[in-house]
Amino acid sequence: MMGIFDMFRKKKKDPVQQESGHRTDVEVQAANMSQPAAVDPATETPEPASMLLGFALLNSAEYDVEQLVRTMQTDWSIQVDGLEAGENMVFELGGMNIAVAYMPGPIPNQEVESNCKYNVLWPEAEQVVATHQAHVIITVMNITDPLIGHALFTQITSSVLKLNNAIAYYSPPMVMSAESYIESARMLQDQELPVQLWVFLGLYRSEDGGGSSSYTIGLKHFGKDEIEIVDSREEMADVFEFTLNIVSYIVGSDVTFRDGETIGFAEDHKLQLTRSPAVAMEGYSIKIGY
């Protein structure tokens, strides 16, 4: 099953060049899992995530687990021998442990609705997710290769989101319609990486309304610093596209940016990289002078 992911590690033509300047119980189980040891954020990049977790929102308290099992097999050739279909499924693939658990109630405290404001690409998000009556927790654990782990997580999640009553995917702060997630997940079948499902890309303007800024949440799961563009003079659409291209480069080519390096699309086109306290999130980030 893992053979399909080997091609994702092939070296593609890099979009940039890099120079070195200087060198149920499921929720409880997930919450109690040991986390990577803390590092000095001023000098160290994050450890890759050993676990991924997300939520599929359902607009009715129904859960067709038999349809889910069929979809995993039909779409992704995921067939687990001896798996008994039930409301909670736990199985192993490629050395990773997968748990899919049905929860017959909405995510409490309007948590999902409160995150909809960050998702500018889906204006109706809050209205739609407010109708959810139940949810499914998808967890992939014991991940050793972040790329393979994310790909498997996407396959399982897209299968859940094909349930007739599935309406949205949630992994804070990301909120995405079921249709959009499924469409992007198909990129795996074309041997492409749906990084927009793995890394949240936020956009905002400075308080004076002048600059275009972007930030990421999710690169830490690949053992990378998050990246930011702060108060760029470029158009917001250009900042979004540039940031997405950089994220694809980092994830697809397993690149680690470092303070003092430069990147560019040509020999005479160089953008400075600076590692410093983040502006739009906690911790440190790599700022790109775009």
Structure confidence by residue, pLDDT tens digits, 39-48: 455 567 789 9
pLDDT value for 3: 47
Q: Of residues 193 and 88, which shows the higher confidence score?
A: 193
Edge-to-edge order in the sheet of strand 200-205: 17-19, 262-266, 269-277, 284-288, 226-232, 212-217, 200-205
Residue 284: band (very low, low, confident or very high) from pLDDT cuts 50, 70, 90: very high
| Nearest one of 228, 234, 239, 208 to 278, comparing CA atoms | 228
Q: What mean pLDDT comes out for the span 169-185?
A: 97
| Nearest one of 288, 276, 271, 290 to 228, comparing CA atoms | 288
Q: What mean pLDDT comes out for the span 88-116?
A: 95
Distance of CA 230 to CAs 9, 94, 225, Å? 31, 40, 16
pLDDT value for 23: 32
Residue 265: band (very low, low, confident or very high) from pLDDT cuts 50, 70, 90: confident
Instruction: Name the residue with tokens 């050395």.
Output: 95
Residue 37: band (very low, low, confident or very high) from pLDDT cuts 50, 70, 90: very low
pLDDT value for 46: 86
Residue 152: pLDDT over 90: yes
User: Which pTM value belongs to this model?
Assistant: 0.85
Q: Of residues 1 and 113, which shows the higher confidence score?
A: 113
Which residues make beta-bridge pairs with 58?
Answer: 134, 166
pLDDT value for 41: 54
